[in-house]
C-alpha cells in the first residue's frame, strides 16, 4: 500500500465516474473534465470483457488515458470485475495490469490518497476469501487512525441500498453493508450496477447512518453519467442525460427524487 499526500489541499472537488467499459469517447470527456476537479475517481470497470478488442490491447490504451489524466490533474483507480486479468500471488483473480499503472505514479487498488484532512482509500475488487479477508483487515487497521474525513472507493454498492436497484431486484455487495455499519466512512463511491439512477425507485445517492453512498450509473453517449462531490461546499451533484440533481452532504437522508 502506498499513501499519496497533499497537505496543502483545502478545497476538494471529486469527480466520480465508473463503468466506462472501454468507451473511448467517454474517456476523452473525463480527460477534458479532469482540470476542473482536484481528483478524478474511477470506481472500476474501465475494461470491457465483452469487447472484440483483446484485454491486453485495452490495457495498453487505458494506461495511456490514465497517464493523460495524471498529467491533467490527479486520478485514482479502483478495480471492478471487468478489470481482472489474472491471478495474484495467492491464486485469486485481480487487476494485474494496474501494477503497471501504479508504477507510473497513479494510485490504484490498495493505495490511499490524502488530500488535506481527507483520505480516499482505494478498495480492490476481491475475487475470493483471501482477498476479502485482506481488505477487511486493511479497513480495520485504517479505522484506528482514520482522518477527519474518510472516503472509500468500492466498485459494488451495498445490498439493500437503492443505489443497487436494477429496476427488478437489489443487486448489491453482501459484505459492504456490514463494513459501512462498523466503520461509518463519510462517503463510499461505487458503480457496478448501471441502472439505479435511471429507475423510479433507484437512486444515485443513499444515506446509511453517517455514510453517503454514491453510484452515478452508466449511460451511452460521449458523456458518462457522473457525480461531482464538493467537500468544501458540502454538496454532491449527479449529471446525466436525465438532467441534474444535487444534495447537501449535511442532510440526514437522501432527498426525494422528482425526475420521474
Residues in contact with 164: Cβ distance below 8 Å, sequence separation at least 6, in sequence order: 156, 157, 158, 170, 171, 172, 173, 192, 193, 196, 215
Question: Edge-to-edge strand order for the sheet containing 149-153?
Answer: 3-6, 112-115, 118-122, 149-153, 187-190, 211-215, 205-208
232: which 3 cell numbers?
Answer: 468544501
Residue 38 lies in a domain: yes
Range(s) of the domain holding residue 220: 3-248
Asked whether 189 and 152 are in contact (CB, 8 A), the reply is: yes
Does the structure show a pLDDT above 80 at 260?
A: no
| Percent of the chain clearing pLDDT 70 (strictly above) | 95
Low-confidence winner among 71-75, 141-145, 238-242, 256-260 (lowest mean pLDDT):
256-260
pLDDT at residue 257, as a whole number: 83
pLDDT band at 7 (very low <50, low <70, confident <90, very high): very low
What would the mean pLDDT of 56-68 be, rounded to a whole number? 97
pLDDT at residue 9, as a whole number: 44
Kindly report the CATH number assigned to the domain that includes residue 140: 3.60.21.10
109: which 3 cell numbers?
Answer: 487498488
pLDDT at residue 8, as a whole number: 46
Residue 228 lies in a domain: yes
pLDDT at residue 83, as a whole number: 98
Residue 260 lies in a domain: no
Does the structure show a pLDDT above 70 at 152?
A: yes
Residue 113 lies in a domain: yes
pLDDT at residue 3, as a whole number: 57
Residue 184's SS3 state is coil
pLDDT at residue 6, as a whole number: 57
Does the structure show a pLDDT above 90 at 2?
A: no
Residue 51's SS3 state is coil
Residue 256 lies in a domain: no
CA distance 212 to 247: 11
Residue 176 lies in a domain: yes
State pTM to two decimals.
0.95
Q: Tell which residue, 96, 29, 18, 16, has the closest CA to residue 63.
A: 96
Residue 217 lies in a domain: yes
Question: How many domains are contained in the chain?
Answer: 1
Residue 134 lies in a domain: yes
What would the mean pLDDT of 145-162 be, rounded to a whole number? 96
Amino acid at each position: 500500500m502506498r499513501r499519496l499526500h497533499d497537505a496543502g489541499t483545502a478545497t476538494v472537488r471529486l469527480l466520480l465516474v465508473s463503468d466506462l467499459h472501454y468507451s473511448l469517447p467517454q474517456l476523452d470527456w473525463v480527460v477534458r473534465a479532469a482540470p476542473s476537479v482536484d481528483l478524478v475517481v474511477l470506481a472500476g470497470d474501465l475494461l470491457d470483457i465483452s469487447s472484440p478488442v483483446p484485454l491486453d490491447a485495452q490495457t495498453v490504451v487505458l494506461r495511456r488515458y490514465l497517464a493523460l489524466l495524471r498529467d491533467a490533474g490527479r486520478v485514482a483507480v479502483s478495480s471492478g470485475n471487468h478489470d481482472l486479468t489474472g491471478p495474484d500471488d495467492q491464486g485469486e483473480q485481480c487487476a494485474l495490469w494496474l501494477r503497471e499503472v501504479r508504477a507510473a505514479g497513479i494510485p490504484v487498488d490498495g493505495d490511499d490518497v490524502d488530500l488535506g484532512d481527507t483520505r480516499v482509500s482505494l478498495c480492490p475488487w476481491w475475487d475470493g476469501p483471501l482477498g476479502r479477508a485482506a481488505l477487511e483487515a486493511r479497513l480495520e487497521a485504517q479505522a484506528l487512525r482514520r482522518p477527519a474525513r474518510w472516503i472509500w472507493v468500492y466498485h459494488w454498492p451495498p445490498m439493500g441500498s437503492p443505489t443497487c436497484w436494477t429496476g427488478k431486484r437489489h443487486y448489491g455487495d453482501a459484505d459492504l453493508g456490514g463494513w459501512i455499519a462498523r466503520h461509518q466512512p463519510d462517503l463510499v463511491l461505487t458503480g457496478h450496477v448501471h441502472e439505479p439512477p435511471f429507475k423510479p425507485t433507484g437512486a444515485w445517492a443513499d444515506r446509511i447512518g453517517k455514510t453517503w453512498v454514491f453510484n452515478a450509473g452508466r449511460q451511452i453517449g460521449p458523456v458518462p453519467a457522473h457525480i461531482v462531490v464538493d467537500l468544501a461546499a458540502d454538496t454532491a451533484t449527479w449529471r446525466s442525460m436525465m438532467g441534474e440533481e444535487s444534495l447537501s452532504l449535511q442532510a440526514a437522508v437522501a432527498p426525494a427524487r422528482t425526475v420521474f
